[in-house]
Structure 1
Amino acid sequence: MVLLVKIVTQVKLLPEADQVAALRSTLRAVNDAACWVSSVAFERGVPREYELRKHTYAELKARGLGAQVAQHVIRKTCHAYATLKANIKAGNLGKPGSKRRTKAESKPIAFRLKAAQPYDDRCLSWQLDAKTVSLWTTGGRLKGVRFTCSPDALKMLRDYRQGESDLIERDGSFYLIATCDVPEAPPNGTPTGFVGVDLGIANIATTSTGYRATGRGLNRRRTRQLDLRKKLQAKDTKSAKRLLKRRRRAEARHTANVNHIVSKTIVTTAERTGHGIALEDLTGIRSRVRLRKDQRTSLHSWSFHQLAAFVEYKARRVGVPLVYVDPAYTSQQCSQCGHIDRKNRSKQSEFACLACGFMAHADDNASRNIARKGEIMWTAGRESRVPAPV
């Protein structure tokens, strides 16, 4: 059985003026319909997709939506409520009775008028040689809509595109986000060891092999962007709003680029040395950690999940084993003697074991503990569970 890695490929549409109007009205229509379906689902206690279809399908058809598009609108709404339920269960919206959780549970989910709408192969066809697409709109089938993308993205679409593609409007431009199923590379044999990766804010990533991606430049850029936003928001002029709109996603794009570079370096090192990769499972850390008010911006700007996701899919593509380990006490435990004490870490960047006197950079020490935990988890997972013959 061939395992697949799901990778999304984004292409930018280059529609004519009349095509822009058709695409914009289509997104407005389907998302307005999704809001109505959401209200019906909320009133009926969020029933299953099949039951929700019985209450909404006829009305969606009467609104002018095609049969396949109506199904996608219903499915999109069900998936939104499933995501909300998962976030509540994981504690991402706070404890029961908290203001944020109460707000989320007290009203139907609303969809933005420019939110993504899924298209399958019945509603959307690709002409890759001509670099055009044909897709359904509320005004009829729209043919010959040009798109642009990199040569690598075009090859990815040609070789691996499968399933649905999402149409989205962002800052006045339209994009198609296609799903590509790329075969996962077979494992490169038994790893000779594990590269432990300690994720942090001061240092984005520190590995047990000695690589350290400092976060000084990224954090400095975030601070500048925050100060600039405050100044522009205080001006409240047309030119200031125009500049804010143009820069609204600059920080996110820069952060994603840095995470791609860091993750590629980690995976390449592990592949070259025949090692696996051990990452910390930091799920729910924002709700567990208590910080001063002036530190909260840094915590909530920390893109550890994105970096981990980049490392994971890059590792799967080249066959590098990857495990997630419990991060408990990795920053307090001595990587030499195993002694655990909060006082071992006297400062943010310094580790000094009170038992054996071992001294190191705190992140280097933590990465070694993570590497050791990764080896233990891999060994436990590879152990035979067959009972010994009597």
Structure 2
Amino acid sequence: MICRIGWVNAPRRYFVTKTNGSQQGKAQGVKRIVVVKLAPTPGQYVALKSTLELCNAGANMVSQFAHTATDRRPFALQKQVYAQVKARGLSAQPAIRVIKKVADAYATRKANLLNGNYGTPESKRYAKVAGKAIVFREDAGQPFDDRCLSWQIDRSTVSIWTTEGRMRNVGFVCAPWQLKMLADRKGESDLIFRDGSFYLHATVDTDAPDQLVPADDPTGWLGVDLGIVNLAVTTADDPAELDVRWSGGAVTARRKKNESMRSALQKVGTKSAKRKLKKRCRKETRYATDINHQLSKTIVAQAQRTGQGIAVEDLSGIRDRVRLARNQRQQLHSWAYAQLRDQITYKAQAAGLPVQVINPRNTSKTCHQCGHCDTANRHSQALFRCRGCGWTGHADHNAAANIAALGHTNYRAAQSTVPIAAPPLTAS
């Protein structure tokens, strides 16, 4: 499709909810991204490309300074490097957006480092990421605010700042219902270059449904266990009849086939093989995204039918936290688990379902019946047999039940409004 709808790709920031003590929490709104493809003339195309190159060259210059700076806030960086960025040929507002882009990139990296997404501070990956300046590709995306970019919805055109000056009447193609969404556009739009074409990602605020308040016990939550053999198992699944589309053989066979073809192309090493490898990698990415969309849609539909919140485990940084056999490491690296979690999150929140992202620590080796935690409880990939109470069942289903219980606990803690009692006054 030329135009499509995406969602803000940031977990736990899709919308903000407020509760008033009643059965429902009122949602303030959902941020969605409308992605439109630009249709520039040859001259406009060249100007847009040179604009991205100039902006990212400036961003790399700012990044070198920010890497050693003690204060990386946008205004602090602006005071130090604004003149140098503007001297490169950028107008005032684009220069400010470039500096802001760099500041945001370092803030995101800092958050990922603190959250363990690059491993522990002692790991090689952590040191590699933290030890060098962030580098922007010459065609990396660039944000534009309303002073640099304006939309003419009725004519399906935009007016955008470029290195050649203000460029008007840059056409875009969009469906009528998407034009209606663009009428509610607010804030920045990002200029993206991908596969030889330009796109604009516009942020749109839409109304969100009232948020469901789940039952006040673990049964009010649908636990979701993510894994290698079974991409996702929920507490609502029948362990004896897991969906073959994303459990067991189907996805694993596709992964092994992709791995074999990728390895063969890498060994050839010719330009033709590299082109085919690049094309193959894109195909793998599209396949994983499609499966994740199908799976996340199914999980959210399950929760909607039963009126449950969704508790999903957070696998961020798992590659650096766990030790796996070589074949398991390859399977772990070949799937976008963070994307799957994010898709579950935004679809659930758009449906008015609360979401809790759970630390998976010990969920796979703790019995959900008695709470006994022991590595020996996990007899195999599929079999869980508790050494405490003797309960036996599917290991992934047991982990999903533990995640559901943690979702209930975390939700209650977050919703608690009980004030802390003040100490009694004593006479002096």
* Alignment TM-score, normalising by the size of structure 2: 0.82
Q: Tell whether the 8 Å contact from 2:300 to 2:348 is kept in structure 1 after alignment.
A: yes
- Pairwise CA distance, 1:387: 6.3
What pairs with 1:126-137 in structure 2 (closer than 5 Å)?
A: 126-137=151-162
What pairs with 1:43-192 in structure 2 (closer than 5 Å)?
A: 43-45=68-70, 47-96=72-121, 98-149=123-174, 153-159=178-184, 161-191=185-215
Aligned match of 1:198: 225
Q: Distance in 2 between matches of 1:221 and 1:385?
A: 51
Aligned match of 1:301: 334
- Pairwise CA distance, 1:346: 0.7
Gaps of 5+ in 2: 1-17, 19-26
Map Cα deviations across residues 103-138 of structure 1 (whole Å, 9 max, x no partner).
Answer: 434443221101111011111122233332221110
Q: 1:238 to 1:190 in 2, by over 3 A?
A: closer
Report the aligned-residue RMSD.
2.6
Q: Tell whether the 8 Å contact from 1:203 to 1:216 is kept in structure 2 after alignment.
A: no
- Pairwise CA distance, 1:47: 4.2
Amino acid at match of 2:85: L
Q: Distance in 2 between matches of 1:382 and 1:229?
A: 48
Amino acid at match of 2:129: A
Q: 1:222 to 1:131 in 2, by over 3 A?
A: farther
Aligned match of 1:7: 32
- Pairwise CA distance, 1:74: 0.7
Matched, 1:364 2:387: no
Amino acid at match of 1:367: A
Instruction: Pick which of 282-291 and 113-122 moved more.
Output: 282-291
- Pairwise CA distance, 1:215: 5.4
Q: Tell whether the 8 Å contact from 1:183 to 1:317 is kept in structure 2 after alignment.
A: no
Map Cα deviations across residues 154-200 of structure 1 (whole Å, 9 max, x no partner).
Answer: 443334x2211111211211111222223332123443711111111
Map Cα deviations across residues 273-310 of structure 1 (whole Å, 9 max, x no partner).
Answer: 21111222334322211123332222223322211111
Q: Tell whether the 8 Å contact from 1:218 to 1:255 is kept in structure 2 after alignment.
A: no
Instruction: Pick which of 116-125 and 246-255 moved more.
Output: 246-255
Q: Distance in 2 between matches of 1:276 and 1:385?
A: 22
Q: Distance in 2 between matches of 1:243 and 1:116?
A: 25
Amino acid at match of 2:54: A
Amino acid at match of 1:280: E
Q: Distance in 1 between matches of 2:414 and 2:66?
A: 42
* Alignment TM-score, normalising by the size of structure 1: 0.90
- Pairwise CA distance, 1:317: 1.3
Gaps of 5+ in 1: none
Q: Distance in 1 between matches of 2:198 and 2:313?
A: 37
Aligned match of 1:242: 275
**Identity over aligned pairs, percent:** 49
Amino acid at match of 2:172: F
Q: Distance in 2 between matches of 1:369 and 1:72?
A: 45
Size of the aligned set, in residue pairs, is: 389
Aligned match of 1:254: 287
What pairs with 1:206-221 in structure 2 (closer than 5 Å)?
A: 206-210=233-237, 212=242, 213-214=246-247, 216-221=249-254
- Pairwise CA distance, 1:329: 2.6
Q: 1:276 to 1:387 in 2, by over 3 A?
A: same
SS at match of 2:59: helix
Amino acid at match of 1:162: K
